[in-house]
Structure 1
């Protein structure tokens, strides 16, 4: 029996060539396999991510599967795909004043091309700000055979949208995604360079070309939801924490390992009075399924360190300002549209796959150190990272036009060390690995502006647990994981409390995978995924008209399926069922949707905006 207790900070990244061995349960043995996909990037050509081939540690050969047309019941006509989410709210009393096509492009064999660039020039009929809603709409079509691809849109280097493309069928697919980008209104007021990265591969095997139309829709009138933020409405200035030039594959940083720290110098306007850092991330290659990576002591004991991605199951994104820890993200485990079993994600896409989540960090207390006309260092890294992570951030700033400069001070900063414990118990390839991690971060600072002397206090607590189980010579795998983040932000004047915001977020994940090889070479693959995004938020404010609000989101998805794969690789039989329940309730309204899909057939689909329904 091998048993060890190690601190996660001792798990180090090793550089090794991609292997065809895999110890977790994530697939693409089930469907096409290539060197670049939503988990892939331009420099990944020719690489085979280890988590993309699942033959346990028995040494599967690289295989690329063409689904049997009898299984592709949805191929009779073009499929419409979608991610279940609350429709974008159009403010009551508002109307669309104009719309504008930002870009239309066919993404063929673009793997070695720079991003598509287009000069954005606002229409005169759209006005110059004051919009109550700016809606970004992405519509794409594709047919043939292709992988999921990661894509992003930047405006003046600021990321406004990140997505994973859907995997097509021979007769084609179409999907439309809408995102509220009102918070980026400052960027839409004047001409900017727009960049769209979508690295695709087209050859004799992979024929799918992505046809993308990106448009913006501007609304005026009514009451903007953003006016109910703690104070200040939407940001006046948005600065990118990103690669300066997109020409080498986009504005995002590509992090290869834990020691890879990406930094940029940023100068903050002297009259800034509020700051929020929006962190944009996605994980790929050997870390696409980071939550199923075994610890390194297990790999060493079985002499497979150069064949299987490791570093354990814990990842956290760390952002620092001038060397002080300013933000932490425990990321949501997004399943891309080719992940686990692509039939799970037709027509329903995985949670967060069509609109990848970003994460806001309140950094106003740091402003007192930053408003001095000097450059300041912003840096990002990922604990225990393996190749590779795509990261950049947007710095949202509110400026006080009544003064030339504000002044303040960071008065308190507390960043406790990561508390992490891993227990490994295994015999050969079977074992149980438990990881528990936690961290706390808080800071306080004041800022003097025309709004008065305001003190902002931000505190964050993070908890993570994961149990990874291998049985039957690692041909069967299970993951039981949960991460929790609690955020509290308070804004005070010299006389009273002005703003209080409390948000808790929980990401539970359960995953089961089993493969059975029969004597005739046929492979039976079974998979079961259950994951959800649960979030509660309460806000109280006495600024302006005042506000007391709450919102609750419970977005749960369950996918089950099995595939029969003969030695030649065509899927002859298969069953895939996905059910999802989305329930959102808030002081501004509710939305509920419950639906089930089995082999491309709707079992049921109900939706309602009555709060009495969403709370059930």
Structure 2
């Protein structure tokens, strides 16, 4: 649920209105995305579809036209496709959602199978004249071990429908299975998936404070070679605009939310720090000013990407046959973060027990802690200056295991940084807050098999830039008159894999959005808006020739332009079938520490 963000002085919250052989399989056929119509107010995003191989397919419908008009969960049953026996080269989740015209909040949506999360995102808000519909896709090949047998699942999408909030949400979802072949090999999917959710049929867990944990006790196989956990952490209610919050001691002066701006997810094993997951500043379709997000939503608003944490250095600890407590917490949570995760493990199929040791964990001695510089000044009742928050940690995690194919050592070196500066100008007629935030990650994993084995090094660099500015203008009586707002938001990801000094694979992903709008008020109620305009630019390329580029422009709430292929060879989009152009993690194929 989103609200228009307004300064706290008025104590108002206005409801939102509104492998090389694979290369010879032929380039890639990508599923055709929904068509674009210039002048249309319907949802239009530049995000790429999931690329598909040119092989036979089978489809399993998970559910059709579910109606979401309350907060009850919607169960469904899954059975493996009879005509497509695994292993599969790829499995893709497709979902189609819509909401009827009227008034409705944005809502959080999630899909679950055997208690594991297979989709997490939010919905678009409708208007009195627009009933938006949208399509989502996600590569779910990592869940193949669950998909080989019958499972139960559920859709979680709470929604209120009454005399005020009239928009009814509908949704359908299916899985598309792609057969493997000699030229289109099966994905190296994890051998098992363990849900980090509510412990039941599947639902996120709410963490209200930084001390709260999503915690699960799990007894794992004793022959784990690699382990990863995908983390989702979504700010809700008081934490929806967490990037605009300041420390409690200056919250009144800055007329903003308290709790500070520093947020970061922590992963632990048996209470020991084991990894860090930076949090993306997702903005819901009703957030700040809902008109800014029509018809193009914020980065990943409709389809969140998880952050993948490598737990492989801890494999020897997880292999001891005992129950282990895996937990996720959110530093700075201030009512509240909605959190879930999936643990993926790869096994040694030729040894029942794999032993080894954890050899380094410098993260354990570096608790998450931010530095805050309060530079606010009060000059005759006029507030100015800024509040700057920063945090950075560099750490190493290392371990080895003795497998059926020799000793394998894994070393993870990572730097995670956070910086948030909020500048304020507050007087009797104006409230202005300008936010400049960036979260960045630089992570290198080196894997070596045997004493003389060639080291394989993967490097991930990611950055989450956010710039937002809110201005509220008041009349002499202190009533709202207008509120111009602007947001620039990005998702940058670069990945490379090397064997020794030879580059095996490299990708670049960039998703940027710039948007702005001005609300107008009468008697402190929103009565109109003007100047809505936005642009989204999505770019993906890899070292094997893939290239995706789409630019979208909107104006006054309708689609104004769509340009494909800018910067690609001959202006053509080409996506090799095994790529992840959306920037999602891919340790089942291209990002595995092993060579293609």
Aligned counterpart, 2:346: 398
User: Which residues of 2 match residues 413-428 of structure 1 at below 5 A?
Assistant: 413-415=361-363, 416-418=366-368, 420-428=370-378
Task: Evaluate the alpha carbon distance shift between residue 137 and residue 151 of structure 1 in structure 2; reply closer, same or farther with a 3 A threshold.
Answer: same
Contact 1:183 1:226 in 2 (8 A): no
Task: Evaluate the alpha carbon distance shift between residue 266 and residue 88 of structure 1 in structure 2; reply closer, same or farther with a 3 A threshold.
Answer: same
> Please, which of 416, 438, 451 is the counterpart of residue 392 of structure 2?
438
> Please, which of 456, 459, 466 is the counterpart of residue 502 of structure 1?
459
Task: Evaluate the alpha carbon distance shift between residue 150 and residue 224 of structure 1 in structure 2; reply closer, same or farther with a 3 A threshold.
Answer: farther
1:492-550 Cα offsets, whole Å, 9 max, x none, are 022123421001001111111101123585621100111111111101259xxx97000
Q: Distance in 2 between matches of 1:435 and 1:55?
A: 22
Q: Distance in 2 between matches of 1:334 and 1:573?
A: 23
Task: Evaluate the alpha carbon distance shift between residue 512 and residue 570 of structure 1 in structure 2; reply closer, same or farther with a 3 A threshold.
Answer: closer
User: Which residues of 2 match residues 157-556 of structure 1 at below 5 A?
Assistant: 157-170=115-128, 171-221=130-180, 223=183, 227=187, 233-246=188-201, 250-299=202-251, 309-415=257-363, 416-418=366-368, 420-428=370-378, 429-473=383-427, 475-493=431-449, 494-519=451-476, 521=479, 523-541=481-499, 548-556=504-512
Aligned counterpart, 2:97: 140
> Please, which of 581, 606, 614 is the counterpart of residue 537 of structure 2?
581
Mean Cα displacement is larger for which, 385-394 or 53-62?
Answer: 53-62
Q: Secondary structure at the match of 1:347?
A: coil
Aligned counterpart, 2:24: none
1:576-595 Cα offsets, whole Å, 9 max, x none, are 11111111110240101112
1:107-163 Cα offsets, whole Å, 9 max, x none, are 34322x2x2111211231232x22111111110111122111001111111111101
Aligned counterpart, 1:23: none
Q: Distance in 2 between matches of 1:139 and 1:166?
A: 12
Pairs aligned (count)? 540
Aligned counterpart, 1:120: 78
Task: Evaluate the alpha carbon distance shift between residue 349 and residue 573 of structure 1 in structure 2; reply closer, same or farther with a 3 A threshold.
Answer: closer
Aligned-pair CA distance for 1:409 = 1.2
Q: Distance in 2 between matches of 1:200 and 1:297?
A: 36
Check if 1:89 corresponds to 2:41.
Answer: no
Unaligned runs of 5+ in 1: 1-36, 40-51, 68-73, 228-232
How well do the aligned residues superpose, as a CA RMSD in angstroms? Answer: 2.6
Q: Secondary structure at the match of 1:367?
A: helix
Contact 1:139 1:214 in 2 (8 A): yes
Aligned-pair CA distance for 1:440 = 2.1
Check if 1:80 corresponds to 2:28.
Answer: no
Task: Evaluate the alpha carbon distance shift between residue 579 and residue 225 of structure 1 in structure 2; reply closer, same or farther with a 3 A threshold.
Answer: farther
Aligned-pair CA distance for 1:573 = 3.9
Aligned counterpart, 2:87: 130
Aligned-pair CA distance for 1:77 = 10
Q: Distance in 1 between matches of 2:111 and 2:325?
A: 24
> Please, which of 28, 53, 58 is the counterpart of residue 9 of structure 2?
58
Q: Secondary structure at the match of 2:413?
A: strand
TM-score, structure 2 as length reference: 0.85
Q: Distance in 2 between matches of 1:590 and 1:78?
A: 27
Q: Distance in 1 between matches of 2:572 and 2:357?
A: 44
Q: Distance in 2 between matches of 1:287 and 1:57?
A: 15
